[in-house]
Each structure stands twice: as structure tokens, then as C-alpha cells.
Amino acid sequence: MIRHTPLLKSLRLVLSVVLLAAFAVALLPVASDAQLPVIRFVKDPDLAPDFQVKDLDGKDLSLQAFKGKVILLNFWATWCGPCRAEIPGLIELQNKYKDQLQVIGMAIDEDDDTELRDVVKSESINYPVALTTGPVRMAYGGITALPTVFVINSDGRVVQKHVGLYNPALYETEVRALLNLPISARIETFNDTGEVFLKHADRATMLPGVNTEGLTTEQRAAALHKFNAEACTCGCQFTLAQCRIYDPACKVSMDRTTSIVKEVSTAHSNASATTKPQTPADPPAPATPSTPPAPEPAPTPQTPATPPQP
């Protein structure tokens, strides 16, 4: 009779549990690409505008200094609640991928950096922070809301822009994708039509708050041309199309684009009403052949004069 020792019984129990777990996993459905979350990157992205500023430690700060790394360029402010809420996530990302990632904080605060220094110290921020200059803000589209994060790949190109507070897990997934590390997400690409850089607003076929559904293809093209050719008079110094993307709440650009849509539609309707098909005129009656004129009588030959007598 064979006696099983307690150790042998324990090994058999562990082996049984492992086999059952493996069998259960095998029965689980494999997630298809369609079921995976999606991250989106710009197709043919633009180079990120470089800058030369001083960080809070007085050191030179530029994108060029971190060439070859993925960069999260974070525009924020000390008085912005959502900005403060995302700082711990950015700190964790910087720690986790410090050899391949660089977070840069560009603070939109007053010139006095006293409060900014206090926040950097209290939050134990481990990435460079600098006060943002006006030219840098404009180079990145004016920064309409905070926080705003530009995702820059290792080639120095802006592949995504996020406005508002986002889950740090999204940033990490994007960073890992750009670093060619495994991710549980599907990558899609899109054309920048002003969502990232306003200069590409002329590529947009739809603008916030502008309804062009009632226009024909030709009318829509004409309206979009006007949106991109006409400057907004609200003082933003943008075209109408750029202002609609930059500030969807702007009443000036909203009213003017609405008027343009009506003008284009009305012009087409008037042209259709005045241009009516004309009834072709009756062909002219064939001319009645006239009687040819009678020929003139031939002149009577004259008798030659008699030469004088000698």
C-alpha cells in the first residue's frame, strides 16, 4: 500500500489548481482589435516649435535638449485645479520612463514666480518647470484652456494634443506606443484640421457651431473658402475658421459664419431662379429664290471709221 506524504499531496493540489486556471484562461474569448481602446496620433505631424527659456533653477530649457526622447509638454497654472490634480500622474510617468521620456511644465502664471516655486516644492515636481512666454504660447496656438498637453514623439513632432484633465493611463499608453513598447490599445491616425495647430484650420470641412448641412458640395466649398479668407473682427487676429476652433463661444465669428452660410445659400437660390431655360427660337424660313435679272443686251458693234482719202 502506497502512502502519500503531506508534501506530495500539497504538490498535487497546487498542480491541479494551476491546470484548472490555465483551462479557464483558455476558455476566455480573445479580445479582438475592435474591442480594444483606441489612441489617435496625427498623420504627417508638424515639428514642435522649439523655444529657449530659463527654468526655475536658471538653467536653459529647450526641446532640442531632449532630442530623441518622447516629450509631454504640459501648459498649466498654479491656480488651475485640474492642472494641480494631474501633477502626481506626470511625476509618476517621469519616474517610470525617465530614460526615454521628458515631462516639461510650462506655467502660465504671473511674472512673479514665488507661488510657482512653492507649488513645485510642495508637490515634489521632478521635471523642469518654467514660466511661459507670450511667443511660446502663440507658437502653440494661444493655449485656450488649461491644462493643455502636447505629445511630442522622439523625432520632435507633435502627434497629439489634449485639452483638459485626462486619465494618466492615457498618457502612459501613448508614451509606450511612441516608445514601441507593448500596449493594450489600437492606434489610429487622423489629419490635423486645426485641432492641434490652428494653421491647419483651412483643412477643416466642419467647424464648431457652424451648420453647413443644407449646402451643396459646391456651396460648402465656397463657404469654407470665405471662412478661411475673412478675418474675425473680435480682436483675436485669426481667420473666422481659426476663431471658431480657437474659441467656439465667440459670438462674432459665430454670427459671421452663419451669415456667410445664408449668403452662399441665397446666392445659389437666386441664380437658380433667374436662370430659366429659354425656348429655342423658330428657325428662319428659307428665303424665296428671286428671279435672276435679265442679261443686258450686248453692245452693237461699231463700223470702223473710214481712213481719210489721200
Q: What is the pLDDT of residues 210-263, one digit of tens each?
A: 999 999 999 999 999 999 999 999 999 899 999 999 889 999 999 999 999 999
The reply to whether omega before 82 is within 30° of 0 (cis) is no
Residue 2 CA to residue 40 CA, distance in Å, equals: 64
The secondary structure of the chain in percent helix, strand, coil, rounded to multiples of 5, reads 40, 15, 45
Q: Is 310 a residue whose pLDDT tops 50?
A: no
Q: Which of 153, 227, 239, 164 lies closest to 198 in space, CA to CA?
A: 239
Residue 307 has pLDDT above 60, yes or no: no
pLDDT in tens, 213-226: 999 999 999 999 99
Q: Which CATH superfamily is domain 41-190 in?
A: Glutaredoxin (3.40.30.10)
Contact 167, 36 (CB under 8 A): no
pLDDT at residue 246, rounded to an integer: 87
Residue 42 has pLDDT above 70, yes or no: yes
Q: What residue segments make up the domains of the chain, in order of their start?
A: 41-190, 199-270
- Give the model's confidence band at 137: pLDDT under 50 very low, under 70 low, under 90 confident, else very high: very high
Indicate whether this model's pTM tops 0.75.
no
For CA atoms 128, 129, 133, 139, the dihedral sign is positive
Q: Is the pLDDT of residue 67 over 50?
A: yes
| Torsion angle (degrees, nearest 10) of CA 142, 163, 247, 254 | 150
Do 61 and 53 contact (CB within 8 A), yes or no? yes
Q: How confident is the model at residue 43 (pLDDT cuts 50, 70, 90)?
A: very high
Residue 285 pLDDT exceeds 70 = no
Report how far residue 54's alpha carbon sits from residue 37's, in angstroms, rounded to the nearest whole number. 38
| Active centre residues (catalytic) | 80, 83
Q: Which carries the bigger pLDDT value, residue 237 or residue 48?
A: 48
Q: Which three cell numbers mark 71?
A: 516629450
Q: Which pLDDT tens digit goes with each residue over 75-106?
A: 999 999 999 999 999 999 999 999 999 999 99
